[in-house]
Amino acid sequence: MPKLHRASPFPAIFTLGLAAPLGMMVPFGFVPMPANAASFPAQSRIAQVTLYPDAAVITRQVAIEIPAGAHEILLSDLPTTADPASLRVEGSGNGRLLLGGIDLRTGVAHPKADAELEARLKARRAARDRLADRIETFETRKAMVQRLAQGDPVPKDGKPLDLESWLNAVDAVGKTLQGLNDELRGFRIEETALLEEIAALEAAIGRPDRQNTRRIAAIAVEAPEALKATLTISYRVSGAAWRPVYDARLETRGAKPSLELTRRALIRQQTGEDWSDAKVVLSTLRVQRGTAVPVLGSEKLGFHEPALPRPVPMAAAPAADALAHTNLEKARRAEPGAPGEREAAQEQQAQLAASPFHAEFSVPGTVTLPSGNEERSLRLAGDTFEPKLQHKAAPLLDPTAFLEASFDLKGDAPLLPGEVLLTRDGAFTGRARLGAIAGGDKVELGFGADERVKITRVPLQKEARDAGFFGSSRSEENRFRTDIRNLHAFPVSLQVLDRLPISEDQAIVIERLPDMTRPDIENVEDRRGVLAWNLTLQPQEAKAIVTAWRVRWPQGKVLRPQPLPR
C-alpha cells in the first residue's frame, strides 16, 4: 500500500515505490509548486483508446528522465475536449517517485514562421516595389502629356495651324492619355491584389493557431534522486463514438440453410487530436445514458371539461393501408476462380471480453484515425447459425410473401441497435434495422420477397342490414378469401397474418361467422385482433383462408375505424 508522505514540499501526497503503479485522483491546484521547481515539457503518445457509443477515454504514456528534486512536467498535447474532472495520472519508475497535484491549463500554439511563407512574402514585396516603379513612370508620362495638351502649339514658320492639323493633334493627345490611363488602371488592380496577399501572408506568419488550441497538463513530481519513469495519463473526451453495423448472409442452396452474421463497428472521432497507431477497445457501455433511475413524480386524475365544438370542414376518407413495393438492389458476388485454385483472405477479428453488464471488443493491431469526418470500419466478430426459415405475409397490406430467418443469439455479447445489410444466396436484398438483443434471445431477419409464393386476397361478400321500423341496431357482414399457391419445387412454411376489428365499447358487437377459417394464433405479439394461420404448402399446392365477421351497432351511430398503437 502507498504510504502518506508528509515530510516533502508536497502536502498530502503518496509515495510510489520501485516500479509500482499508482493511480492519482488529486484536485487541480491541490499541491503548490515550490518556488525553485523547474518546469520542462514532455511528449506523450496515445497508447490506448477505449471507445464507447457516445464518448472515449484516452490513455497516453510518456517515458521521461526526472532529475533529483521537485519539478513540473508539462504535457501540451491534450485536446481541448478533455474533461478536466476525468484526468487521472499513474506512474512507475526505477526509484522513489512522488506524484503531486495536476493543473490543467489552456494554451494556444504559435507555430514558427514557415520558410515557404517567408519566401512568398519576400517575393510579393519585391513585386510590389517593381510595380510601384512602373506606376511612377506612367504617372510621369501622363503628367507630361497633360502639360503639352495645355500649351499652344505654334509651328516653326509662325503660321497658325489649320483645322485638320488641330484635329490630328487633339486626337493624338487623346489616344496617348487613353492608353496611359488603361495601363495605370491595370497596375492599380494588380497593386490591390498584391497588397491583400502581402497582408494575408504577414498575418499568417506568427499568428496564433486558434484551431490548434491545446490543453496543457502540469504534473508536479518529486524525486529524491534522478530516475527514469513512465507516466500514464488518462482522460475522457467527447466528439468520439462508434456505432454497430451488421452483415447478414443467408445461404439456402445447400443441404441445410446457414446464416453468417458479421458484427462491424464504424468509428469516428472529432476530438481535435489524431489517433496514431493506438490500441482500440470498443465497449458496449453508454457513458452518457445515465447512472440511476429517473425520479417518478405523482399524477392526479381529474375531469376534462370539453371545449365547445367548432364546425370542421369535411375531410376525405383515409385511403386503405398499402405497402409500396420497392426495387431491390442487386449485387452479385464475382467468382474469383475455380474451387481449390484460390484461398479467400481472412479478416482480422476482435477479441471479446464479456462481463455481466457490458462487453468489450479489443481490436487486433493498432488503429490510426485523424480527427475529422472520416469513418473507419472494423470487424468485431462473426458467427454462423443454422436458422429456421419461414415465409410471412400480411395480404391486407401487401400480397407478397417475405422470407424470414430466425435463430437464437449465441454467447453473452449483446447486439446493439444498428443497421443490418441483408444478402440472400449471394444477392443483396436490402437494409433493415436491428434492435437491442441480449445473448440467448431470438433474432428475426427478413430477407426480401419470394415471388414464387403467390398470394391474392379478394372480398367475397359484404352485407349491410338496417334496422326495421321497430329495430334499434344495424349490422354488417364482411368476408375475404386469401388464396396461396407454392410454385417452388420444395415445401414452404408460411404464416399468414390478418386482422379482425375490435371494440372497447359494449354497444359495438363483433362476432366471427361460422365459415371463417380457424386461426392458429390469436393476438399475435399481443396485438389485439391480429390473427395468424401457420401453413405448410407442398410443391405446387394451393390453400385458401377465409376471414369473416359480423358487426352490430346502435341505429343512428357511425362507425369509424381507429388504428391502435403497436
CA distance 566 to 554: 29
Q: Which of 75-84, 122-131, 445-454 has the highest mean pLDDT?
A: 445-454
Q: Is the dihedral of CA 191, 195, 197, 201 positive or negative?
A: positive
Residue range 152-163: mean pLDDT, rounded: 60
3-state helix, strand, coil in the chain (%, to 5): 15, 45, 40
Q: Is 388 exposed, middle or buried (0-12, 13-18, 19+ CB in 10 A)?
A: middle
- Taking residues 165-194, what's their average pLDDT? 82
Determine the pLDDT at residue 8: 36
Q: What is the pLDDT of residue 310?
A: 62
Q: How far is CA 507 from the centre of its chain?
A: 52
User: Residue by residue, what is the 3-state secondary structure of 510-528?
Assistant: EEECCCCCCCCEECHHHCC
Nearest to 449 by CA among 485, 488, 402, 390: 402
| pTM given for the model | 0.61
Tell me which of 145-154, 182-191, 310-319, 375-384 is least confident. 310-319
Q: What value does the CA radius of gyration of the chain take, rounded to a whole number of Å?
A: 41
Q: Is the pLDDT of residue 24 over 50?
A: no
Confidence of residue 26 (pLDDT cuts 50, 70, 90): very low
Which set of grid coordinates corresponds to residue 336?
474469383
Higher-pLDDT residue of 302, 334: 302
Written as nine digits, the cell of 337 is 476462380
- What values do phi and psi take at 77, rounded to 5? -110, 25
Main-chain phi, psi angles of 121, to 5 degrees:
-65, -40
Distance between alpha carbon 321 and the CA centroid of its chain, in Å? 33
The ranges assigned to domains in the chain are: 4-110+211-238, 115-204, 242-286+349-554
Q: How confident is the model at residue 114 (pLDDT cuts 50, 70, 90)?
A: low
Confidence at residue 21, expressed as pLDDT on a 0 to 100 scale: 35
Judged by average pLDDT, the poorest of 66-75, 147-156, 337-346, 431-440 is 337-346
Least reliable range by pLDDT among 25-29, 139-143, 226-230, 347-351? 25-29
Give SS3 for 258.
strand
Pair type for strands 38-42 and 69-79: parallel
